[in-house]
Amino acid sequence: MATRKKAAGKAAAKKVAKKQAAKRPTSKMTAQKADAVRKSGVVTELPPPSTKPWGEAGKALDGVRILDFTHVQSGPTCTQLLGYMGADCIKVERPGVGDITRGQLRLYFTMLNGNKRSITIDSKHPKGKEILERLIKHCDVLVENFAPGALDRMGLTWDYIHKTNPQMIVASVKGFGPGPYEDCKVYENVAQCAGGAASTTGFREGPPLVTGAQIGDSGTGLHLAFGIVSALYQRMRTGRGQRVRCAMQDGVLNLARVKLRDQQRLTHGPLTEYSQHGEGVPFGKAVPRAGNDSGGGQPGWILKCKGWETDPDAYTYFITQAPVWGPICDLIGKPEWKTDPDYAAPPARLPRLRHIFNTIEEWTKTKTKFEVMEICNQHDIPVGPILSMKEIAEDQSLRDTGTVVEVDHPTRGKYLTVGNPIKMSDSVTEVKRSPLLGEHTEEILIEELGYSAEEFAAIKNSGAITPSGKKETEAA
Ligand code: CAO
């Protein structure tokens, strides 16, 4: 008996020593790191390098669980990117309805919600609230882009979530940050206008213009994803979650920051690289629309190419970058411009840009946009063919890199989507189809949240996961 007790005591002592050793700085750590470990109690030492082949050591965000409360585009863009990186995205949708774009914009929904699982929960139903509480305890990150105040009205305030799971990161997209417009609902083009993009896009003589790229929605989703990953990293040191918020206005402004630079330059004189300057048109008080002027200080413009009369996309972007001015002059048959004082140096060219681009266009009109690309690149002259969406959809190289992917869907059939634009050598992206509405409700409730089969049947009958009046989840 005594020997047994002694052995048990020894084993317990060994366990404690092992636990303490895990917290104790190892000899390999730097003094600074060791100090951090002592203070925080969190071991930050990296594990030894994996010996698994590249791409077979799991995905970057494996093990991260996302409670995905997003809809339309900004939030879904963010969670789809996290899903591409391996996070498990559990998309919570309203029973019977789901994300509003499921019905209104079906292909749009499909393209933005791949690599996610769908669970239907009525977040205002008492049983639904109980399920959400379990999900909050179970997940690492909650992502939402409801209208301001909607999450609070569901009872999911920051205080409640933080108390329920102090490690949870709560990430939100809103139209505006705190201020006069904080309560406004916002869509893509509203953000483009409020973020300074529309006032600086378009032609000087015309009205402000929104761009085709979804810089308000997808742009802000991208910003949010970066915030989430940073918060996950910080959580490894602090052990606590935090709020991550991105306003669409801020996201657009961040993408339009060069125009804010120009606003400040304007107080010191005209913006000499804008073609308006060369044309002698005075500047007003705010940064003007600059048409197709290049923003980088190297004059550029969109020029017609062979076939422009019938093909609306037979154009190329052409940049008269200073270091390749000589080869440009030779190509377009104006070798004398290399030494002519009116053309030889960049400042001399500024008042003559329109004439210069008209002359270059006489040359580009004799070539297809792809021929221009090929010829100019032999001389390091930066040009860009104006690619139509048809050309992009059919581009084999984009398929080969997984940037454009064909996915099969049980109700839609085959469709194209944009795969992960971020390529990682050890975290390989699989692009999976979007889920049917509520497709994973049972799986998540039973396998993830631990409800028994009887409890699941009771939840089904409660109306918390089914459309009001119906008792069964419908996959639509
Ligand atoms: N169960 C029960 N109710 C649910 C639910 C669920 N699973 N999911 C959502 N709802 C409810 C919300 O609680 C909200 O109800 P209340 O207003 O009564 O509290 C209601 O559905 C509608 O939510 P919403 O106001 O967010 O949706 P909307 O269509 O009216 O507005 C949008 C859409 C995008 C304008 C708004 O959500 C918004 O401004 N979001 C922030 C900015 C943003 O992301 N915009 C980009 C959208 S993409 O262009």
C-beta of residue 49 within 8 angstroms of C-beta of residue 74: no
Helix axes 126-138, 453-462, angle to 10 degrees: 130
pLDDT digits (tens, 9 = 90+) for 355-388: 999 999 999 999 999 999 999 999 999 999 999 9
The one catalytic residue among 122, 217, 250, 293: 217
Percent of the chain clearing pLDDT 90 (strictly above): 84
Q: Which of 24-28, 234-238, 334-338 has the lowest mean pLDDT?
A: 24-28
Mean pLDDT computed over every residue of the chain: 91
Which comes out higher in pLDDT, residue 56 or 476? 56
Please give the pLDDT value at position 294. Answer: 82
User: Per residue in 277-323, pLDDT tens?
Assistant: 888 999 999 999 999 998 767 899 999 999 999 999 999 999 999 99
Q: Using pLDDT thresholds of 50, 70 and 90, give the confidence band for residue 36.
A: low
Could you give the C-alpha distances from 156 to 63, 136, 229, 232, 301, in angstroms and in order? 24, 10, 22, 21, 50
Query: What's the confidence (pLDDT) of residue 253?
Result: 98
Distance 146 CA to ligand 1 centre (A): 4
pLDDT band for position 21 (50/70/90)?
A: very low
How would residue 272 be classed by pLDDT, with cut points 50, 70 and 90? confident
> From ligand 1's centre to the CA of 403, what distance in Å?
30
Mean per-residue pLDDT for 337-365? 95
Q: Read off the pLDDT of each residue in 27-49 and give the average, rounded to a whole number.
A: 63
Tell me which residue has its CA closest to atom 48 in ligand 1: 73
Using the predicted structure, report yes or no on whether residue 129 has a pLDDT greater than 80. Answer: yes
**What integer pLDDT is reported at residue 45 of this predicted model?**
82
Q: What percent of the chain has pLDDT over 70?
A: 89
Closest CA to 26 of 12, 13, 44: 44
Radius of gyration of the chain (CA): 29
Predicted local distance difference test score (pLDDT) of residue 468:
75
Give me the mean pLDDT over the 191-201 stretch. Answer: 98
Token pair listed for 86: 């391996």
Q: Tell me, what's the pLDDT at 39?
A: 58
Cβ of 143 less than 6 Å from ligand 1: no
CA distance 172 to 142: 8
Residue nearest to atom 30 of ligand 1 (CA): 147
Q: Tell me, using a 6 A CB cutoff, whether residue 184 lines ligand 1.
A: no
- d(CA 148, ligand 1 centre) in Å: 8
The alpha carbon of 144 and the centre of ligand 1 are apart by a number of angstroms equal to: 9
pLDDT of 476: 30
Predicted model pTM: 0.90
- Specify the range with the lowest mean pLDDT, choosing from 11-25, 201-215, 290-304, 310-324: 11-25
pLDDT-derived band at 105, boundaries 50, 70, 90:
confident
Residue 9 has pLDDT above 50, yes or no: no
Does residue 183 carry a catalytic annotation? no
Which residue's alpha carbon is at the smallest distance from atom 46 of ligand 1?
Answer: 187
Atom of ligand 1 nearest to the CA of 95: 7
Q: Above 60 in pLDDT, residue 14? A: no
* pLDDT, tens digit, 9 for 90 and up, residues 405-457: 999 999 989 999 999 999 999 999 999 999 999 999 999 999 999 999 999 99
Give the confidence band of 42 by pLDDT, cuts at 50, 70, 90: low
Name which residue sits closest to atom 14 of ligand 1, judged by CA.
Answer: 150
